Amino acid sequence: MFLTRWELDRLSDSAGLALTELVANVVRHVPDRRCSVLILREPHGLRVEVADAVPGSLVAKAADPLEEGGRGLVLVEAVTDRWGVEETGGGKTVWFECDA
């Protein structure tokens, strides 16, 4: 809905997949499964931030072919133009950007 209003429909597949992966990480790794999501229209396109209360950095790494999980951040890296992690007061924010 936001992307349609902002005339960024062509980003819906990649942004939707990346957002789904980040929220799935919260469900799997954050004890209370709580996060906040911020979707921003930027001059270059779109920025999405997912913040939680668990500190730490994340690394996109290829999972073993027989592992059930571990590919989320690799997917985020593949379908977005930029992504990263920022430490916040007692937690972290994982973000990604998609260029228009």
CATH code of the domain containing 53: 3.30.565.10
Pair 45, 100: CB distance under 8 Å: yes
Residue 36: per-residue pLDDT: 97
> By residue range, what is the domain housing residue 75?
2-99
* 95 CB-contact burial (10 Å; exposed 0-12 / middle 13-18 / buried 19+): buried
This prediction has a pTM of 0.88
End-to-end alpha carbon distance in the chain: 16
Place of tokens 């924010």: 93
How do residues 6-45 score in pLDDT, each as one tens digit? 999 999 999 999 999 999 999 998 999 999 999 999 999 9
Residue 97: per-residue pLDDT: 98
**The pLDDT of residue 76:** 93
The tally of domains found in the chain comes to 1
Per-residue pLDDT tens over the stretch 45-98: 999 999 999 987 776 666 666 666 667 888 999 999 999 999 998 899 999 999
